[in-house]
Amino acid sequence: MIYLTDIFFIVTRLPKLIPVCVCVCLCVYLISDYSQDGPQQQIVALLGDDVHLPCVLETPVDVSNMLLEWKKTDPAPGFIYVWDKKEENIKFKLPSYMGRTSLSFDKLKHGDISLTLSQVQLPDQGLYRCFVPELGQKSFIDLVVASTPVIKVMSNVSSRVVLQCESAGWYPEPELLWLDGEGNLPSAGPTETLRGPDDLYTVSSRVTVEKRHSNNITSLGSLGTIKDVTAAVSETRDKLQDILREEWTNISLTVTEEDVLLSPPEPKTRAGFLKYSHEITLDPNTANTRLLLSDGNRKVTRMKQQQSYSDHPDRFTGCYQVLSRESLTGRCYWEVEWRGRGVGVAVAYKNISRAGSRDECVFGYNDKSWALCCYTTSYKFQHNNVQTVLSGPQSSRVGVYLDHRAGILSFYSVSETMTLLHRVQTTFTQPLYVGLYLWDGGATADLCEQIRVTCEKFISKQFPLDPKVSKGSNDHKHNQTIIQQF
């Protein structure tokens, strides 16, 4: 038997003297015997987010030239990603997974076949198989899809506050508990459980607390027994407090009454930005046929001759642009080195048109994309066909900072110093993808390889229950920062 634990955090900063409340969904799974002839792991993903499905060979082997299969085995079986002859084969791919799955070519060379599944949906829940036929090796991932637990202020009268914690999309039925700052169980109302037509559960519970600065309330939802939860809480209470103090920037903050998302301030130095750097590769299936990808799909060059790309529904046909494989939903930073008379550095939604008029598909000419147009003597920002001429030092390198949940998008000129060119404050309704547009022949744009740091994600991560783990251990972190060289 193997216990897997995931912890979801929502920290609710309430106004005035209302207590600071923490809703923690502690999910304890018990994996018993299973019939598959391969290792199995259970992963919890939040609805609408991206999830990493791990599959790594015990012995590092270059599998980039092998047939690789990712298949959903239950329910609604079918292939979600097939790698064949050094490219994706979409012939038998389930339609609902089109444009939402990706592998890292560089990692395949080291036996890492892990898959990224973007924009997780409720039907994605189920069992997945990673299989290398040539080696006869396979592993299984049991994906559980759930919503982030949310605390709401239901009543704020006199010296007492009534709070409600709710979480949806669970299977099997979870249990929910409240804890105060000392780890005690306050008196709470009965847990309400609803089972939807999709057989997934929604649970909610209310508790009344006193208005005190020191009053901390925790809501726990568990797929194990109450005994399992209370035992886990006794071991993790101190660690939770450490995380809330030391890892504040890794937690999604919500002001419940106004439903306004707060975010840590934008970094002031390049070193600060690099903490949010994200390794990004370009998706060959989206590249216009006049664009050549190289350097591990990190560099794009505008060519005079058409490239021998296969037909693909995601390919841009009416404009010389390309999108990234990876979607961005947290706080991220990346840099682009460019050459030529004109290059567009953009972010866009996945559903931007691939063909049609300029207003439909070109970055910056519609409401599905935001673009910085870089010229040899000037800059211009464009969104929804509205242009803003910018001033700033000319540089061949542009830095882009994105705080998706806060709706912040910033462009910087990068040289010996960083100069802000333009900042956007808006609301992003979908995951974003990096976009590049090349105006003239011979122009190039390179997603800088030397900064490789994991992009912060607002999703759960396995949490260690070992009491010997020190407070400063990297195991407490939502993201481990690995800056190679810059």
Q: Give the whole-angstrom CA distance, residue 47 versus residue 67.
A: 30
Q: What is the pLDDT of residues 124-144, one digit of tens each?
A: 988 999 999 999 999 999 888
What single string gives the DSSP state of each residue in 2-57?
EEEEEEEEEEE--STTSPPEEEEEEEEEEE---SSSS-EEEEEEETTS-EEE--B-
Nearest Cα neighbor of 25 from 11, 42, 40 is 11
Q: What is the pLDDT of residues 336-363, one digit of tens each?
A: 999 999 999 999 999 999 998 889 999 9
Q: Give the whole-angstrom CA distance, residue 371 versus residue 343.
A: 10
In the three-class reduction of DSSP (H, G, I as helix; E, B as strand; rest coil), residue 367 is classed as: coil
Nearest Cα neighbor of 55 from 139, 132, 142 is 139
Asked if 205 contacts 191 with a C-beta cutoff of 8 angstroms, the reply is yes
Q: What is the pLDDT of residues 424-444, one digit of tens each?
A: 999 998 999 999 999 888 899
Is the pLDDT confidence value at 32 over 90? no
**Degrees, nearest 5: CA angle 163-172-95:** 105
Q: What is the pLDDT of residues 242-275, one digit of tens each?
A: 444 443 333 333 332 333 345 678 888 888 899 8
In the three-class reduction of DSSP (H, G, I as helix; E, B as strand; rest coil), residue 236 is classed as: helix
Residue 180's pLDDT band (cuts 50, 70, 90): low
Nearest Cα neighbor of 278 from 457, 416, 87 is 457
Sketch out the chain's domains with CATH numbers.
Answer: 40-146 (2.60.40.10), 150-210 (2.60.40.10), 270-447 (2.60.120.920)
Q: Among 8-22, 211-225, 310-324, where is mean pLDDT lowest?
A: 8-22
Q: Name the average pLDDT for the chain.
A: 75
Residue 292's pLDDT band (cuts 50, 70, 90): very high
Q: What pLDDT score does 351 carry?
A: 93
Instruction: Select the highest-mean-pLDDT range: 106-110, 290-294, 452-456.
Output: 290-294
Q: Which two tokens stand for residue 434?
A: 């990096």
Of all residues in the chain, the percent with pLDDT exceeding 70 is: 69
Instruction: Select the highest-mean-pLDDT range: 33-42, 110-119, 137-146.
Output: 110-119
Q: Give the whole-angstrom CA distance, residue 90 versus residue 79.
A: 9
Beta strands at 150-157 and 160-170: parallel, antiparallel or unpaired: antiparallel
Max Cα–Cα distance, the chain, nearest Å? 74
Q: What is the pLDDT of residues 58-99, one digit of tens each?
A: 888 999 999 999 999 977 789 999 999 888 999 899 999 998
